[in-house]
Amino acid sequence: MVDATPPSSTAEPISGARRKLVTKPFSRADKVFYRVSAVAAYLSVVLVALILVFLLGQAWPALETQGIGFVFGNQWNATPESMVFQIGPMLWGSLLISAIGLIFAVPMALAIAYFIEFMANRKVAKVATVMIDLLAALPSVVIGLWGIVVFSPVAAHWAELLHEGLGWIPIFGNETNNYFGSPFIAGWIVAVMIVPIIASVSREIFSQIDRDLINGSLALGAGKASTFLRVILPTSSGGVIGGILLGLGRALGETVAIFFVLNLVFDINWGQILEPKGGSVASMILAKFGEATREELQALMAAGLVLFIVTLLVNWLAAWIVAKAQPWRK
């Protein structure tokens, strides 16, 4: 006999909330793997905290003596009579060079990621992926030597052409007729170093896009360029921005390569990217560390602390953006 009783109106609705897996590892191998992974994760946090504490302890005398002017001032004088340590030009230079590097790197990285994921066949895509990974593995000193010996003359010629054609725009001005050692060249070197990071993250994000969205756009008559701008980029924007910010964190900490190609001057370059003057906190530390006095060494530690905090903030922002763009990963 069939029960014709209507379903109860008090029945609980089907919930769309994601269920939590509460089952713990039960085999010995799983338990060992779980504990080793947990220890490694917690150890990374402990190492970052210890580095922060060490830098703070070493830098505190300089921070206490110089005050807030250490971050925003523009003097560096290590003579015993009048010691003044301020990293304003270097900190601004790091941000300026990183911004220039992003301007150059982001279009190249997105183009590489799009080519590998949507245009190239499997064999070509595999080779291109390996080449990008090899570029990421090149040491900074190698890229720096390539930059000063091979690339700087080429980039200096580009800078001269920019000045001749667009010199009426302030950022392309140059009063010295010397185009070497400028933030423009340093930005290109940084771009070469961060393209693999942004391209790898973007390629991974592109691979997770539902192909039905792309095929539907093409079926409705949209071209590939329109599909990329209106479907692929909006869908993957959060992850791509996260990759860009990770590249920015890498650019802020670059040391050796910029040291080779940039003329370090303690004078704030507000935006004349073709002028042979600029700054970088990491490169300044490299340049002065070998001959620093005790007080100057404390100031260099303080500069490293500021750069470390800025890099942490950039990476935290990247993680937050990726988490917001991909809530299913929580």
User: In this structure, is residue 28 part of a structural domain?
Assistant: no
Whose tokens are 């942490």? That residue is: 312
User: In this structure, is residue 95 part of a structural domain?
Assistant: yes
Mean pLDDT for 98-120 is 93
Q: What is the pLDDT, as a whole number, of residue 255? A: 85
Q: Label residue 54 by pLDDT band (50, 70, 90).
A: very high
In this predicted model, which residue has the larger pLDDT, 189 or 81? Answer: 189
266 pLDDT above the threshold of 70: yes
Q: For the chain, state the CA radius of gyration.
A: 26
Find the domain containing 173 and state its range. Answer: 87-277+311-329
User: In this structure, is residue 71 part of a structural domain?
Assistant: no
28 pLDDT above the threshold of 70: yes
Q: What is the pLDDT, as a whole number, of residue 116? A: 93
pTM higher than 0.75 for the full model?
yes
Domains identified in the chain, total number: 1
Distances (CA, A) of 253 to 74, 128, 135, 279: 20, 27, 18, 12
User: In this structure, is residue 30 part of a structural domain?
Assistant: no
Q: What is the CATH number of the domain that holds 218?
A: 1.10.3720.10
Q: How far apart are CA 256 and CA 261, in angstroms?
A: 9
User: In this structure, is residue 47 part of a structural domain?
Assistant: no
Tens of pLDDT along 121-167?
989 999 998 898 888 888 888 999 999 999 999 999 999 999 999 98
Q: What is the pLDDT, as a whole number, of residue 325? A: 62
Q: What is the pLDDT, as a whole number, of residue 22? A: 59
User: In this structure, is residue 233 part of a structural domain?
Assistant: yes
Q: What is the pLDDT, as a whole number, of residue 105? A: 95
Closest CA to 132 of 205, 203, 232: 203
Q: What is the pLDDT, as a whole number, of residue 328? A: 47
Q: What is the pLDDT, as a whole number, of residue 74? A: 87
User: In this structure, is residue 265 part of a structural domain?
Assistant: yes
Q: Exposed/middle/buried for 69, CB within 10 Å: 0-12, 13-18, 19+?
A: middle
Of 108-117, 122-131, 314-323, the one with minimum mean pLDDT is 314-323
Q: What is the pLDDT, as a whole number, of residue 2? A: 47
The tokens of 22 are what? 């509460």
Tens of pLDDT along 170-202?
899 888 889 999 999 999 999 999 999 999 989
User: In this structure, is residue 10 part of a structural domain?
Assistant: no
